[in-house]
Structure formats: C-alpha cells, structure tokens
Amino acid sequence: MAFYVTTPIYYVNAAPHLGHAYTTIGADILARHHRQRGEDVFFLTGTDEHGEPVARVAEAEGITPKELADRNAQRFLDLLPRINVSNDFFIRTSDPRHKRRVQEVMQRVHDNGHVYKDLYEGWYCPRCADFKTEGEIGPGNTCMIHVGTPLDREREENWFFRLSTFEQPLKELYAQRPDFVAPRSRYNEALAFINGGLQDVSLSRAKLTWGVEVPWDEGHVFYVWFDALLNYYTALSFARDGEDLTELFWPARYHVLGKDILKFHAVFWPALLMAADIAVPERELIHGFLLMRDASGAESKMSKSLGNVLDPFEVMDKFGTDALRFYCFREVSFGHDGGVSTTTFGERYESELANDYGNLASRTLAMIGRYRDGVVPDVGVDPELAPDFDGLVEQVSELLDRAEITQALDRIWQRVRRLNRYVEERAPWQLAKDEAVASELDVTLRSLAEGIRAVTVLLHPYMPETAAKLLAALGEEELALESARFGARPGGGIVGELPQLFPKPQ
Ligand code: MSP
C-alpha cells in the first residue's frame, strides 16, 4: 500500500529552529511507523524559497535571493541527518523542474476559467507574505502573527483565483470527509472559515521578480503560497530520476503542519486542486506550537521574532538526537500547544530515558550475562505478564492512524513502566540465589528480554538510533510491526554488549 506523507516546506529567510524540527520529526515518526507496517512510503520535506520575505532579507544582506536560498536551504538540509529524519526527497521550490510543473498546473487552472485580472488593494504583511482580512489586523495596522510588524497598504493589478466559487464544493468535501482535517477543533475552525464566506484571492504579484513566472502574463510571478502548496504535487514528478511517482503516491495520505498555516492548507489548497482537476489529499494533521517556558514559568511562542529560539543543535549536542525526538513528543501533546524547557527536558531525560528505559535494559542484559552466560533462556514468556501486552500493537497503530503521536508513545511507556514493576516484583537477584527456582528465573529473564524487545520495536519510530542499538544487543534486528507482539520471537538468542544509551550529559 502506498503511503505519502509531507511536512510544510520551510521558509529560507531564517535558519531552522526547534519548531521546524518538531514538525519534521512528527512526520518522520509516521513515515517510519508505516514502513514498519510494510507499506510503500514516500516522505517529502523541503524549502519554500520564493516570495517577498526572502527577497527582502536578501536585499538587506546585499546578496541575491538565490544566494540566500542556497545558503539557508543548506541549513535545513543539514538539520535532517542530525535529527535522523528518513525523508525520501528534499524539494526546493527554486528547482526549475518544480517551476515548470507549477506553470503546467496553473495554466490548467487558468484554462478551466478559474482566474481573472483585477485591481487589488489591501493590508499586507511582508513577513507572512499574506494579505490580511479584517479580523486579522492588529492595533495600528500591525500583524497579529508577527506582533508589532506594520502592515503595508498594497495596490496593484493582480490575477485572482476564484476561491468564492469553491465555497460549495469545499462544504461538500468537509461534509463527506469528517476526518479531512484533524484534530476536530481544527476541522471546525477551517469549516467556520468556509462557512463565513470565501472571497477571491490574489494569485500573482506584479512587483516581485523572485518567483515562478505566470505563463500567460509575462511580468507577473505567482503569489508564493500557490507555488509553495503545489510542491506536494510537483515533487512526485521529478523526485526519482526518470520516474513519475504521481500515479503511485497521489493523493497524499497526510500533510503534517502547524496551526499557523491551517487556512492555506485546509481551504485554498483543496480549492486549487479542484480547480486543476487534481484529487485532494486524504488528511491534514494539524499540530500546535512548542512554547518556550522560562524560569518564571511564563510561556511564549518560539519564533525568530521573539528571539527565544531553542537551538536544536545545542540540545542534541548535550542530550543526543533521540532524547530530543522523544522529549518533544512526550512533553507536548501532538495537536496542542505546549511548553518546552531545559528543566523539563533534563527531568524526563533522567527519570524516563536514563532510568525507566536505559536502566531497565542495561540491568536486564547484565543479569542475563551474569546468571545465564548471556543466553536468553529458551522458555515461554510469563503468562502473568503477557496479558498486559495484549492489544498493544493494535492500540499504537490505531492511535497513530489518528495522528495521536503522544498518546501512542504513552501507551508504549506504560509497558516500559510495567516491565520496571515486573523486575521489582520478581527480584531476579533473589531468585538467582536459589537453584530450586531456576526455572522461575528463566521465565523472568526471558520475559524481560522479550518485553524490552517488544517495546523497543514500537519505539523505533520515535528513537531509531536507540532502538537499533538495543535490538542489536538483544540479537534481534527485526523491525516489522508484527514482531512487536510480546512473545513473537523465540528465546535462546545470545545477548551482546549494550553501550550506555543515555549517559549523563556533559
Ligand atoms: N513556507 C511556509 C509553509 C509552506 S507549506 C506549503 C511556512 N514556513 S515556515 O518556515 O514558517 O514554517 C512553518 C511551520 O513550521 C509551521 O507550520 C510548523 O509546522 C513549524 N513551526 C514553526 N514554529 C513552530 C513552533 N514554535 N512550534 C511548532 N511548530 C512550529 O509557513
């Protein structure tokens, strides 16, 4: 089964921060999980390189927009191996192949009669690259997203997209597909926007040269959002040399994105696709914002403009990549806003990663080494422990099908805790003292090894590097989801050396 998942493409007018990493890791978790199910996965991320903000920053720095884009796209590219993301392709919208495909699709929108030329006047935020509607204008004509940024009064001849004619088709789409946008609160928000009445939107910019040229009117470039959204579709036509993957992977299964760009994805995007006779994506998964919690406990949005950016590189240098991946999705419920801080990061690292999980694994392997010469006893698993793992694979899959990434992790972690209790209940170090209960010790060690293996297979999407190390030490490299069942693998394997998974940070 084909599974196509995307992240938003990130603006190259600034360097990546933890917020960007968060979305990308979220999509990576889903991609890895679906690979475990044996599906044919295609995972796309990339950079959004056109538009006013990029042109402005480049001008301020005295370089060309392309030079700026090349430099900053590289920073987003460099982030990917650091956060261990398994994307299949990285699209850059300045790629001529993307441009050609955008022109093709937009020409179809034009030929289908969905565009017209008119004069446009309105309040425009140069940082959002977006004209603002009445409710979106802050005090003194400022941007409500980039708080304090003055809006420009803009007036120019523009091409318009007849968004208004898609009001009814969009209502029907929402009625037929109650899970088109998740979570439900975001579905309701998008639907309320549609029900509020849709106005036509400006499709091109006459003043700007940095963008994709409008094929039927020289001197205009497409408004950056049209060119950007189309990346999800265009990439499939050139991501793999000599192959067009569109047939296989379109429509996308999931677009993963933050709540800030809901309107573009949940309203404009399906309308644009309908206008071009292209199928709309299956689902859009909207997550909240990571907020920085300062020493007083106050929270604020992490962004370039507020200057409180948590640098993912620094975090990973100190705690490792998997710790960052784990923490973000453990601490902040996917779909909601939530605070992150170095304090709670340190606490979770210590108590959950180092103790609950790392210690459990190292103790278990050490006991198998000491009491059974490094061989997992070849006996059945403990029938008293087994029911606590029943249905776990199904629960995790169902939760991930609803993009409940944090909930799914919580279900897995409940089993990690259960295994810790099991060690205490069984006290293998006591059993080891008495030859008469040798078979009890066998069952205990075997059940612990098997339990750790099962949770680790399920943790692979969240912490791929840790999972690989631990499974290697258990002599069990299998990652298929089915193998995550407790008792799915036989005993008798030889355990190896386990490096310390979560050392004390320097
Ligand atoms: N270029 C557009 C998207 C075009 S998609 C066709 C854009 N880029 S962006 O660089 O501003 O990235 C926005 C995305 O980054 C958000 O939707 C979200 O996924 C992520 N985040 C940025 N800051 C974030 C947080 N503080 N917390 C969580 N995610 C954040 O918009």
Minimum-distance ligand 1 atom for the alpha carbon of 259: 17
Tally Cβ neighbours within 10 Å of residue 494.
11
Q: What is the pLDDT along the chain (506 residues), one digit of tens a residue?
A: 999 999 999 999 888 888 999 999 999 999 999 999 999 999 999 999 998 788 888 988 999 999 999 999 999 999 999 999 999 999 999 999 999 999 999 999 999 999 999 998 889 888 776 778 778 899 999 998 888 899 999 888 889 999 999 999 999 999 999 999 999 999 999 999 999 999 999 899 887 789 999 999 988 999 999 999 999 999 999 999 999 999 999 999 999 999 999 999 999 999 999 999 999 999 999 999 998 765 555 666 655 444 444 567 777 888 899 999 999 999 999 999 998 888 888 899 999 999 999 999 999 999 999 999 999 999 999 999 999 999 999 999 999 998 899 999 999 999 999 999 999 999 999 999 999 999 999 999 999 999 999 999 999 999 999 999 999 999 999 999 999 999 999 999 999 999 999 998 76
Would residue 128 show up in a list of annotated catalytic residues for this protein?
yes
Residue with the nearest Cα to atom 29 of ligand 1?
Answer: 19
Is 17 one of the catalytic residues? yes
Q: Ligand 1 in contact with 211 (CB < 6 A)?
A: no
| Overall pTM surpassing 0.85 (yes/no) | yes
**Cβ atoms of 450 and 495 closer than 8 Å:** no
Q: Which of 6, 10, 85 for a ligand 1 pocket mutation test, highest count of atoms within 8 Å of Cβ?
A: 10
Query: With a 6 A CB cut-off, is 257 part of the ligand 1 pocket?
Result: yes
The Cα 345–Cα 273 span in angstroms is 41
CB 495 within 8 A of CB 473: yes
In the residue annotation, 287 being an active-site residue is answered as: no
Q: Is the CB of 260 under 6 A from ligand 1?
A: yes
Is the Cβ atom of 20 under 6 angstroms away from ligand 1? yes
Residue 358 in contact with residue 419, Cβ under 8 Å?
no
Quote the radius of gyration of the chain (alpha carbons, Å): 26
The rounded Å distance from CA 388 to ligand 1 centre is: 39
Find out whether the beta carbon of 301 lies less than 6 Å from any atom of ligand 1. Answer: yes
Give the whole-angstrom CA distance, residue 13 versus residue 228.
14
Residues 163 and 199 sit within 8 Å (Cβ to Cβ): yes
For residue 258, give the ligand 1 atom closest to its CA.
17
Q: Which amino acid is at 439?
A: S
**Residue bearing tokens 């993912």:** 312
- What lies within 8 Å, CB to CB, of 325 at 6+ separation is 25, 29, 83, 84, 462, 463
Given the residues 114, 128, 255, 265, select the one marked as catalytic: 128
Which one from 99, 110, 114, 146 is the annotated catalytic residue?
146
d(C-alpha 252, C-alpha 280), whole Å: 8
